[in-house]
């Protein structure tokens, strides 16, 4: 399996622009998580989906952030408009909970976002 695939790996944009980050989870996984990592705050959960349905979006910082999962193999995280404080590495992770509930997460390589 190719693992969790994220794109783009790096994104540099200007304040006010729209940013779309993409994620393809591991085939067959039924949970998908979006995390953000910064030096100051570490890894923070933004939102997670189960079977394509958003379950908990309480970590989404504000209305400028939105996430969708139109099907089991694709999710997007959108920031509109972007601000310099959104600069971070955004990780997507997936998980299969149907088994012995080991709970381990499989992370992608991340999308490093820089907002100027």
**Interface contacts to another protein, rule CB under 8 A:** 4, 31, 33, 35, 42-43, 45, 48, 50, 55-56, 91, 93, 97, 102-110
Residue 31 or 79 having the CB closest to another protein = 31
Cis peptide before 8 (omega within 30 of 0): yes
Nearer to another protein, 22 or 81 (CB): 22
Smallest separation (angstroms) from another protein to the CB of 68? 18
CB of 81 to another protein, least distance (A): 27
Please compute, for residue 35, the number of CA atoms within 13 A of its CA located in the half-sphere on the CB side.
17
CB nearer another protein, residue 65 or residue 91? 91
In 3D space, the residue among 19, 37, 28, 34 whose CA is nearest the CA of residue 75 turns out to be 34
Cβ neighbours of residue 5 under 8 Å, at least 6 residues apart? 23, 24, 108
Token representation of residue 111: 């999308």
8 A C-beta contact, residue 94 and residue 75: no
Q: In the complex, what is the shortest distance from the CB of residue 71 to another protein, in angstroms, rounded to a whole number?
A: 20
Q: Which is nearer to another protein, 81 or 114 (CB)?
A: 114
Instruction: Give min distance, CB of 16 to another protein, in A.
Output: 27
């Amino acid at each position: 399996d190719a693992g969790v695939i994220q794109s783009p790996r790096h994104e540099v944009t200007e304040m006010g622009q729209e940013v779309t980050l993409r994620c393809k989870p591991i085939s067959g996984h039924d949970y998908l998580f979006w995390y953000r990592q910064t030096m100051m705050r570490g890894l923070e959960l933004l939102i997670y989906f189960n079977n394509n349905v958003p379950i908990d979006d309480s970590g989404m910082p504000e209305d400028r952030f939105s996430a969708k999962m139109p099907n089991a193999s694709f999710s997007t995280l959108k920031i509109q408009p972007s601000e310099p404080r959104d600069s971070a590495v955004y990780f997507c992770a997936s998980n299969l909970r149907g088994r012995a509930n080991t709970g381990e997460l499989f992370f992608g390589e991340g999308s490093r976002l820089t907002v100027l």
